[in-house]
Amino acid sequence: MSDALLVIDVQNDFCPNGALAVNEGDTIIQQINAAMIHFSLIVLTQDWHPNNHKSFASSYENKKPFDTVEMFYGDQVLWPDHCIQGSIGAKFHPNLNHEKADAIIRKGSNPSVDSYSAFFENDKVTPTGLHGYLKDRDVTDLTLVGLATDYCVAFSALDAANLGYSVTVRLDMARAIDNDGSLNSAINKMSKAGVNLENG
């Protein structure tokens, strides 16, 4: 058994002045860097969309950011264009010690399917490969930090709990988008799923 730190989407577009800026998104970074030494494995994720992605409001005639559409896998919130492959917005925030990563998982590359979770795309069945990678290294305990608490962090934590990992989300090292009650709903789902929610 072994542990890993999963750092979710600490990218320029989710930080202040980014395309989908999360309040205080950059304020967690020094603490995340400091936490890295306590884990035997560090995995970073990177939201990585093609420019015509179906989660972008701009891909529809009459939609604006934060509207929702029905996709084949269920409801999908529409976002401003963000984390476009190769763009500055898709890069890790310059303060993040990204060179400490053992692995980097990129997600959201399929133009028709969003991918909040580090484990499965939003269709809930297409794997990213992270579970296999962690299993091969006998990882049993995961600590999640990063952006955004109510989307990519929560979806990753819920999938991880379902897959049988012991899961902790460090809320003090995560920040939320919090649209339409999304943070409350994410916290409730994570508690019910047995995710440990910690504040330090």
Q: How close are the terminal C-alpha atoms of the chain, in Å? A: 23
Choosing from 47, 107, 150, 159, the catalytic residue is 107
Q: Which two tokens stand for residue 182?
A: 């999304």
Q: Counting contacts by CB under 6 A, is residue 119 touching ligand VGL?
A: no
Collapsed DSSP state (helix, strand, coil) of residue 76: strand
Q: Check if 107 is active-site.
A: yes
Alpha carbons 56 and 162: distance in angstroms, whole number: 28
Residue 48 C-beta: closest distance to Zn ion, Å: 8
Q: Counting contacts by CB under 6 A, is residue 9 touching ligand VGL?
A: yes
Q: From residue 43, give the alpha-carbon distance in Å to each of 95, 120, 166.
A: 16, 15, 16
Q: Counting contacts by CB under 6 A, is residue 152 touching ligand VGL?
A: yes
Residue 2 C-beta: closest distance to Zn ion, Å: 29
Q: Which two tokens stand for residue 101?
A: 């990563």
Instruction: Name the residue with tokens 């890993």.
Output: 4
Alpha carbons 154 and 193: distance in angstroms, whole number: 11
Residue 144 C-beta: closest distance to Zn ion, Å: 17
Q: Check if 15 is active-site.
A: no
Q: From residue 156, give the alpha-carbon distance in Å to each of 36, 64, 87.
A: 19, 26, 24
Q: Counting contacts by CB under 5 A, is residue 47 touching Zn ion?
A: yes
Q: Check if 152 is active-site.
A: yes
Which region, judged by CB under 6 A, interacts with ligand VGL, from 24-32, 68-76, 147-155, 182-190? Answer: 147-155
What is the per-residue binding string for ligand VGL in 17-56, x denoting contact by CB under 6 A? ------------------------------x---------
Q: Counting contacts by CB under 6 A, is residue 165 touching ligand VGL?
A: no
Phi, psi of 166 (to 5 degrees): -85, 120
Q: Counting contacts by CB under 6 A, is residue 120 touching ligand VGL?
A: no
Site for ligand VGL in 64-103 (CB under 6 A): 79
Question: CA 17 from chain center: how many Å?
Answer: 19
Residues engaged in binding ligand VGL (CB under 6 A): 9, 14, 47, 79, 116, 147-148, 151-152
